[in-house]
Structure 1
Amino acid sequence: MIEALETFIAVASAGNFSAVARQQDVAVSSVTRKIDALEAEIGSRLFHRSPRRLALTDAGQQFLPRARNILGELAEAREAIVAGDAEPRGLLTVTAPTAFGRRHVVDALASFLRRYPDIEVDLHLQDQVVDLSEQRMDVAVRIGLLPDSDLHATPLAQVRLVTCASPAYLARAGRPHAPEDLLRHDCITVATPPAPGFVWRYAGVNRNQPLPVRGRYRTDDKDGMLQAALQGLGIVHIATWMVCDQLRSGELVALFPDEATTSPAPGLPGIHAVRLRGRSHETRARLFIDHLRSEIGSTPWWDLQLQPA
């Protein structure tokens, strides 16, 4: 049964029997027999089969996440028995968005490795969403609204935005006293349409619709936005996790201080750590996610720094 479930998941991922047969170094007929036996066992067809394509049936789509959960629970139980009281060891693979990873994941990994000296880590920093199964990743840190999936997601923090500018810019252009004043200022914006959570929206302003701010500098790179603000090119609307150090040092000034310390507005995305059930490194993944959550804190440390003393 376990081999049949593993084969079913592999075929669903690959989209054909031949690729799975090559992966398992067996005949295609061996793969099809396992699928036939599984379909007979559960009493339903799992794939639409034709000479040109192979696709999951409705029953197959419903069964796929359950099959992964079954193997995931089994892997967790097996690893817990094997590990016993032994010290965790082995390789952990982690992926995270570039800017967030450099600022927050690297430090957490450093303390994690000091705590577990027999664990090794491969960290991949990239802004593209990684398929954990295809890329063989144990943990992914993701910022944004999570789509429905069979990934196990652990909330780490809620994104809070702050509107800020450098003292040099404010000395030259004047300080806006209300969000509506931003329409008369240079604002550092993204070069492509922003995600819904990152628009310049303020409660009770412009009928709660995004402000149509403009500016001469646009970029899709978060570090590029931060550096432009530090250079005095304009006002930036950015996540507190990105600029907490600059706000604390005075290199940037929060224009509407309550914005970063009150409850985040509805619709803002969250920061999550996700893992795929059934990976052989399940225990190490859970250990790191728990460690990362502890390092960030129930109220993220970067938001605590912005709260008035």
Structure 2
Amino acid sequence: MLKDLEVFVAVVAAGNFSTAALDLDVAVSSVTRRIEGLEQALGVTLFRRGSRKLVLTDAGQFFLGTARNVLSELSEAREAMSNSDAELRGQLTVAAPGVFGRMHVAPAVQSFLRTYPGIEVDLRLSDRLIDLSVDRVDIAIRIGRLTDGELIASHLAPLRRLLCASPGYLEKYGRPETLKDLLDHECLTVSSKPTPRGWWTFPGLNRGAPLPIKGRLQCDDTETLLDAAVAGFGIVHLATWLVDERLRRGELVSLFPSEDGSAAKDAPAIHAVRLPGRSHVKKARLFLEHMRDHVGTPPYWDQTSSRGPEATRNR
């Protein structure tokens, strides 16, 4: 199967069987048999055969990312094993969204540096979408749905959002008994339009579209919305990794803990991504393992929201 994947990737790069055969130093018939066998094993057609050039089908385009990742992982594993005794030194570049990076990645980087004193980390915190190749980043943390099939993704945690309000707000305005009651409350939300996917959206409600909630305060900064909720200005729908600390301190109350949407098949998540074929493979793998251990299963920030304010962190 691995040889079939190598032939498939070579055919995509060459654009036809004959050129791929020359590149691989094999007969054209061998390339043809490999592709036909792969298509039969997968139960799909990978190429549309044209008169001049092969064109990937939708299934072929989808499978290409997987094939490249498998071959890259194998190559990197061989490299890591051949250099298993090499001393770990040098720089590792890690990128993460600003707030999440400050709250959850920076502490992991600090403990990583203590564990591996020969490694240096360049931690870059920014909310812009990092191009790993252009910005020469080894690992990037991505929150939401992944759209780049060229990247190797490692799942870190589900992305859960909770509806929260301060005890003061609930005492003054009452607690909503159903999700539809949110329409009668002050709700704090982002000012960007349309509403980001997953915000104020709940299974089986409003045909999957965000609830048309209203509120006097909108902002493009989630920390500001969090502070406003703590101050009693309304209800927020924010990620558990952001509200965890405030829940533990009793500054916020989770209103509908079971309505987070994380169980949906296509639910967004938190991933660490890297480019196949980049250097520093072993250091990147070590950091990913360290990050997974730091976050835990379930993530430490979800332990409070699932068990109540009395829960404590166990990192």
Q: TM-score, normalised by structure 1?
A: 0.74
Aligned to 1:100: 100
Aligned to 1:223: 223
Unaligned segments of structure 2, at least 5 residues = 1-12, 14-18, 32-52, 311-315
What is residue 160 of structure 1 aligned with on the other side? 160
Structure 1: runs of 5+ lacking an equivalent: 1-11, 13-36, 45-55
Aligned to 2:291: 292
| 1:204 CA drift (Å) | 4.2
What amino acid sits opposite 2:271 in the alignment? H
Q: Distance in 2 between matches of 1:95 and 1:305?
A: 27
Q: Is the 8 A contact 2:69 2:152 kept in 1?
A: no
Q: Quick one: higher RCO (CA 8 Å, sep 6+), 1 or 2?
A: 1
Does the 8 Å contact 1:100/1:242 carry over to 2?
yes
- In the superposition, relative to structure 1, how do residues 93 and 177 fare at CA in structure 2: closer, same or farther (>3 Å)? same
SS, match of residue 132 in structure 1: coil
Alpha-carbon distance in structure 2 between the residues aligned to 1:103 and 1:57: 48
Asked if the contact 1:92/1:284 (under 8 Å) is kept, the reply is yes
Gap change, CA 1:41 and 1:250, over 3 Å in 2: same
Deviations 1:31-51 (A, max 9, x none): xxxxxx98952589xxxxxxx
Report the equivalent of 1:183: 183
Summarize the Cα distance change of 1:244–1:131 in structure 2 as closer, same or farther, 3 Å threshold.
same
1:77 deviates by 2.9
Aligned partner letter, 1:239:
A
Q: Deviations over 1:204-240 (max 9, x none)?
A: 4445543210111111211121112122221101111
Q: Is the 8 A contact 2:262 2:268 kept in 1?
A: no
1:102 maps to a residue whose letter is R
Mapped to 1, the partners of 2:259 and 2:167 lie a distance apart of 19
Q: Which residue of 1 aligns with 2:131?
A: 131
The alpha carbon displacement at 1:108 in A equals 0.9
Partner of 1:264: 263
Matches within 5 A, 1:138-287: 138-192=138-192, 193-198=194-199, 200-206=200-206, 209-259=209-259, 264-287=263-286
User: 2:138·2:275 contact (CA, 8 Å) conserved in 1?
Assistant: yes
Shift in alpha-carbon separation, 1:127–1:85, aligned structure 2, 3 A: same
SS of 2:198's partner is helix
- The 10-residue stretch of structure 1 (112-121 or 84-93) with the greater mean CA deviation from structure 2: 84-93
Count of residue correspondences: 263
Alignment CA distance shift 1:202-1:121 (3 Å) = same
Q: Equivalents in 2 of 1:244, 1:132: separation in Å?
A: 30
Relative to 1, partners in 2 of residues 1:142 and 1:76: Cα closer, same or farther, differing over 3 Å? same
- Offset of residue 145 of structure 1: 0.7
Q: Percent identity?
A: 47
Per-residue CA deviations over 1:86-121 (Å, capped at 9, x if unaligned) read 442211000011111111101111111111111100
Q: Give deviations 1:148-186, integer Å, cap 9, x for gaps.
A: 412110111111111011122223322222211111111
Amino acid at match of 2:197: P
Report if aligned partners of 2:247, 2:304 keep a CA contact under 8 Å in 1. Answer: no
Displacement of 1:290 in angstroms is 1.0
Aligned residue for 1:7?
none
